[in-house]
Copies of this chain bind each other. A is one copy, B any other.
Amino acid sequence: MEGELKPMNAEQLRECGHRMVDFIADYYKDIENFPVLSQVQPGYLRQLLPGSAPVHPDTLEDVLDDMQRKILPGVTHWQSPNFFAYYPSNSSVAGFLGEMLSAGINMVGFSWITSPAATELEMIVLDWLAKALNLPDDFLSTGRGGGVIQGTASEAVLVVLLAARDKVLRKIGKDAIGKLVVYSSDQTHSALQKACQIAGIHPDNCRVLKTDSSTDYALSPESLSEAITHDLAIGLVPFFLCATVGSTSSTAVDPLLALGKITKSNGIWFHVDAAYAGSSCVCPELRHYIDGVEEADSFNMNAHKWFLTNFDCSILWVKDRSALIQSLSTNPEFLKNNASEKNVVVDYKDWQIPLGRRFRSLKLWMVLRLYGLENLQAYIRNHIKLARDFEKLVAQDSRFEIVAPRKFSLVCFRLLSPQSDEDCANKLNRDLLDAANSTGKIYISHTVLSNKYTLRFAVGAPLTEERHVVDAWKVLQVEASNLLRTL
């Protein structure tokens, strides 16, 4: 490149951008050659980098060289076809292009006026997706509701918890915050607990209702009813339920319709967290998992998990946007403008925690346009098929058991202990997890269900094919054999 890098220059951006595209394409070409879980030790990088920022500029080739030699060994490769841990976090060609475009334009769309297209495209695209999910019309932006892209499901549940909190406190007085009660199950994501901490809900007033294998770890409506009745009797104020469709541990699905009837008759805000499984409901044959969503006040799915939209893109729909806005709006003089004052536009700053926001909808728009719903459905179905294949492989090996029924693309399983002792079995599976992940060939994670240490095999990376699933199972079988031999 001729001359020093300027802050911004179209031709330098072009030249360097092309170089970076090749670097990233080569990364994907080579991705199976890296250990999927990084094998570095804590503190490895500080030994490799200087102690202060450079005074004079380095070249792009210097930086890419350090990226390759020093940074990538410390990366855990979420896009590897051998990544089966947690839940997937999809990158796709379309999602990547959307990120590039959003970063290139780099506008800050906090109010409509600061980039009308950013707000309007978000409203339109989230209406598209609501229709694809067959959500009730109440969630569309054309009525009193609408969708908004949050960063993560944690932020989604926080903003609706705040909206619900303030709605009830406006009625019963701000000093009654100590009386407010939140309901969830012991399978609900920890994001709810964090949201309660932030919102100042008393920890003693967070009802974590027990589930077990008799309901496949779904929340029972009876236990919710009982808890509410008890809380009302002692003068507390039930105000929020978080139900889950596709829990993080085992893809448990709470019965939305029955839960919704209870919340409605008690004036409780009903939030549905479908962060992982929501995406699958664009397939008509899976839509039944969110039956009852018409009873909900808010619904969340993460397009950045299993919908080919690069991180972050967590979609929240609400029926009553005014409740969000009443909790989250500010109106400083320096942001006032004619469009906002006339109240004819949406200002997304009032639907979220941060003020600033990217052109968030661009990548979701590109994913929907460049794949179309038919390919997105095929994508989901393929992962479910691969998980079903894996489940069959596990079932054929009598040394293992399936711990919870598979609904989507997650298989919960464990190695049986030759001893019947539960502690031994838990240690055995913990050792199997460590052994498998230490090979660098696969990455899986775990949970605990009914006190059983359980391995989670979550299919969902865009590059994963049948051969990766088959090979992963071989790794697990080999490591299991090794461990069983040493017992």
Closest to A128 in B: B53
Q: Mark the stretch among A43-51, A225-233, A264-272, A475-483 that contacts chain B.
A: A43-51
Query: Does A280 reach chain B (CB closer than 8 Å)?
Result: no
Q: Are A112 and B17 in contact (CB under 8 A)?
A: no
Q: Is A114 an interface residue (CB 8 A)?
A: yes
Determine if A308 is an interface residue (Cβ-Cβ < 8 Å).
yes
A287 to chain B, nearest CB (A): 15
A372 surroundings in chain B (CB, below 8 A)? 53-58
Check if A42 is an interface residue, CB within 8 A of chain B. yes
Q: A328 within 8 Å of B by Cβ? A: yes
Given contacts A26-B10, A369-B62, contact A375 B4 (CB under 8 A): yes
Question: Is the Cβ of B456 less than 8 Å from the Cβ of A334?
Answer: yes
Given A53-B132, A353-B154, A356-B89, is A197 in contact with B334 using a C-beta cutoff of 8 Å? no
Determine whether the beta carbon of A7 is less than 8 Å from that of B79: no
Evaluate contact between A28 and B8: CB separation under 8 angstroms.
yes
Q: Could you tell me the dominant secondary structure of chain A's interface residues?
A: helix
Is the beta-carbon distance between B14 and A52 smaller than 8 angstroms? no
Instruction: Tell me how far the C-beta of A17 lies from the nearest C-beta in chain B, rounded to whole angstroms.
Output: 4
Q: Is A249 in contact with B93, judged by CB distance below 8 angstroms?
A: no
Complex Cα distance, B202 from A255, in Å, reads 37
Q: Does A330 contact B (CB under 8 A)?
A: yes
Size of A's binding interface in residues, CB under 8 A: 158
Chain B residues whose C-beta falls within 8 Å of the C-beta of A10 in the assembled complex: 25-26, 28-29
In Å, the complex CA distance between A40 and B118 comes to 12
Say yes or no: A334 contacts B447, CB within 8 Å.
yes
A20-B100, A53-B125, A190-B330 known, 11 other contacts, Cβ within 8 Å: A14-B21, A14-B22, A18-B18, A54-B369, A58-B369, A63-B369, A76-B116, A154-B353, A162-B198, A194-B328, A248-B332
A103-111, A394-402, A415-423 - the one binding chain B = A103-111
Residues of B within 8 A of A101 (CB): 20, 23-24, 67
| 5 sample A-B contacts, Cβ–Cβ < 8 Å, listed by A number | A5-B93, A27-B105, A37-B113, A76-B115, A155-B354
Does A144 interact with chain B (Cβ within 8 Å)?
no
Nearest CB of chain B from residue A436's CB, rounded to whole Å: 14
A393 within 8 A of B: no
Contact of A355 with B7 in the complex, beta carbons under 8 Å: no
A242 on interface, CB distance cutoff 8 Å:
no
Please tell me if the beta carbons of A93 and B8 are within 8 angstroms of each other in the complex.
Answer: yes
Does any Cβ of B come within 8 Å of A145's Cβ? no
In the bound complex, residues from chain B placing their C-beta under 8 Å from that of A49 are: 121, 124
Q: Is the CB of A374 within 8 A of B55?
A: yes
Question: Which B residues are CB-close (under 8 A) to A178?
Answer: 174-175
Question: Is A473 an interface position by the 8 A CB rule?
Answer: no
Closest to A11 in B: B25
Q: Which of B53, B121, B191 contacts A355 (CB 8 A)?
A: B191
Chain B's closest residue to A344 (CB) is B42
What's the nearest-Cβ distance from chain B to residue A6, in Å?
Answer: 7
Q: Which residues of B contact A99 (CB under 8 A)?
A: 99-100, 103
CA distance A120 to B49 in the complex (A): 10
Q: Which of B202, B248, B358, B379 contacts A7 (CB 8 A)?
A: B379
Instruction: Check A129/B38 contact, CB under 8 A, given A25-B13, A97-B20, A193-B330.
Output: no
A86 engages B29 (CB within 8 Å): no
Residues of B within 8 A of A106 (CB): 78-79, 89-91, 95-96, 310-311
Choice from B44, B96, B327, B369 contacting A120 with Cβ under 8 Å: B44
A141–chain B nearest beta-carbon distance, Å: 9
Whole-angstrom distance between the alpha carbons of A166 and B463 in the complex? 44
A131 lies within 8 A of chain B by Cβ: yes
Chain B proximity of A233: nearest CB distance (Å): 22
Q: Is the CB of A58 within 8 A of B370?
A: yes
Tell which of B107, B128, B194, B199 touches A77, judged by Cβ atoms closer than 8 Å.
B107
Q: Give A169's nearest chain B residue, CB to CB.
A: B200
Contact check, A114 vs B76: say whether CB atoms are below 8 A apart.
yes
Chain B nearest CB: distance from A28 CB in Å? 4
Q: From A161, which residue of chain B is reached at the shortest CB distance? A: B198
Q: Give Cα A79 to B359, complex, Å.
A: 14
| Cβ of A211 under 8 Å from chain B | no
The answer, yes or no, to whether A432 is at the interface (CB within 8 Å) is: no
Shortest beta-carbon distance from A217 to chain B in Å: 13
> Within 8 Å CB of A249, what residues of B?
333-334
Q: How far apart are A386's CB and chain B's nearest CB, in angstroms? A: 13
- For residues 400 through 438 of chain A, which have their beta carbon under 8 Å from a beta carbon of chain B? 434
Q: Which residues from chain B contact A51 at a C-beta distance below 8 Å?
A: 127-128
